[in-house]
Amino acid sequence: MNKKALITGASRGIGEAIARKLASEHYDLYLTCLHSEEKLHALATYLEQEYNVSVGAFLCDVSSCKEVDKLFRHIPSLDVLINNAGISYIGLLTDMSPQAWDRVLGTNLNSLFYTSRNAIPLMLQRHRGKIINISSVWGECGASMEVAYSASKGGVNSFTRALAKELAPSGIQVNAISCGLINTEMNLHLTEEERCSLIEEIPTDRMGNTAEVADMLYAVLSMPSYTTGQIFTIDGGWR
């Protein structure tokens, strides 16, 4: 029987790459996104046909406790939870509205609470499971003009370490992957000059790609059960 994984924010970027990787490794999938329903269903259909796995596609605002609770009515069992959904805000903190702050923290951090509190009971039934949270290097060192994003990812890291300690006696691993500059739509706001300036600071002299993050995630999934509470960094040697 195939293992089952839930991936949030799976219609594009890192989430889509993770879905493709896990489907190729014979995982049945539950995929969510907020807006791109047509694209998500097209991805689900492709993965089912290409890899002969079961894929469920759901619109879900993971910043809403009620919507996440509703999502889990469709998930009777789960081996892997991947909290990938995330948004950013670029601008001065003093120009940021409370609503914008709440959207970033709700999507990037509160969602981990909502999904984990539903997933953990399913994993406890079998005394095993894996939770992987997608974080960012800005969660450790902070980024100017991205205070909310940095704060949310710092929270992701602390959430990961604390929950790992809580669940370790139950055989459930909790880890995070901290991404550096990855070539996704989230970075489309960068000018060519800004992009080049950032790349100059990266020893590998390039941006990472989403397939590399997916490969790293699968490697973390394959690690021994003694590996938990870790923040694995993929940043081209930037730090």
Please give the single-letter amino acid code of residue 191.
Answer: T
**Could you say which of 89, 149, 218, 226 is catalytic?**
149
Classify residue 72 by its DSSP letter: G
Element (H, E) at 162: helix 147-167
**Residues 166, 168: Cα–Cα separation, whole Å:** 6
**Beta strand extents in 11-119 (DSSP E only):** 28-33, 55-59, 80-83
Sign of the alpha-carbon dihedral angle for 23, 212, 12, 87: positive
Greatest distance between any 2 Cα atoms in the chain: 52
Is 149 labeled as catalytic in the residue annotation? yes
Q: Which of 63, 72, 6, 56 is nearest to 34 (CA)?
A: 63
Cα–Cα distance between 160 and 169 in angstroms, integer? 15
> The tokens of 96 are what?
């940021």
**C-beta of residue 109 within 8 angstroms of C-beta of residue 59:** no
Amino acid identity, position 24: S
**Residue 79: which of 186, 182, 222, 198 has the closest Cα?**
222
Partners of 97 in the beta sheet?
A: none
Helix (H) or strand (E) holding 118: helix 111-124
Which residues form the catalytic set? 149
